[in-house]
Amino acid sequence: MNMAPCDHPVYQGMHWIADDYAYYELVDPEKKKPVPIEHGATGIMVGTSLHPEAAVWFDMRFTMMDIHQVFTEPCPCGFSGFRYKIIGRADDMLKVKGVPVYPAAIEGVIHSFPDKLTGAFRIVLDEPPPRVVPPIKLKIEHSSAVGEADLPGLERDIQEKMHQLLKIRPAITWLKPDTLERAVKKTQLIEKTYEP
Ligand SMILES: [Zn+2]
């Protein structure tokens, strides 16, 4: 095995434990250059198996264009190696002033405020992706527990967390709970203002 799910009750990502068997690398989807493994870094995961006998299953598993985000700070469960989350596919990528951003990574930050946000949000794109002129626009539903007076502080908290983890500072438009349409299947996270 090259990975293990975390035992912590709040999802922390997968623990990477395959250093003896495989070399883990992140690659910038556009420049195709290695991305340093730093807390919060994102890129296409490229795995290279170090043992020929492991190559078959390993290469089958990791030739997908999955985008990983790595976390190098110690996991709350006590595991000390790095961990990762799959945050999207290479084709989902947006570029905000040269910084790659994945809708699923934005969703991850939104979902880290479960008491204050309903989890429903949209990324508003005025032009076809991937290029986004900053600031990236988000419509976010606050929860019913949040009053009008709390919104500016909450806005700063979200911007701060997104800046820290994703290197973006979004412009946030607040929506009341249950404003956005809920999809029965997969929720569409993008709202295209450039299409009628
Ligand atoms: Zn853990």
Query: Domain boundary residue among 30, 62, 90?
Result: 90
43, β-bridge pairs = 68
Query: Domain boundary residue among 35, 55, 90?
Result: 90
Same domain, 142 and 116: yes
Same domain, 103 and 38: no
Helix, strand, coil tally for the chain in percent (to 5): 20, 35, 45
Q: By percentage, how much of the chain surpasses pLDDT 90?
A: 44
Domain containing residue 112: 94-192
What separation in Å is there between the alpha carbon of 9 and the centre of ligand 1? 9
Q: What is the mean pLDDT of residues 110-122?
A: 95
What separation in Å is there between the alpha carbon of 52 and the centre of ligand 1? 29
Q: Model pTM?
A: 0.70
Band the pLDDT of 171: cuts 50, 70, 90: very high
Task: Provide the domain count of the chain.
Answer: 2
The alpha carbon torsion through 75, 77, 78, 80 (nearest 10 deg) reads -40
Same domain, 84 and 100: no
Q: What is the CATH number of the domain that holds 181?
A: 3.30.300.30
Q: Is the pLDDT of residue 73 over 50?
A: yes
Q: What is the mean pLDDT of residues 93-116?
A: 90
3, β-bridge pairs = 16
What separation in Å is there between the alpha carbon of 184 and the centre of ligand 1? 32
What separation in Å is there between the alpha carbon of 4 and the centre of ligand 1? 9
The alpha carbon torsion through 104, 110, 112, 116 (nearest 10 deg) reads -160
**Element at 48 (helix H, strand E):** strand 42-49
The predicted structure's pLDDT at residue 140: 98
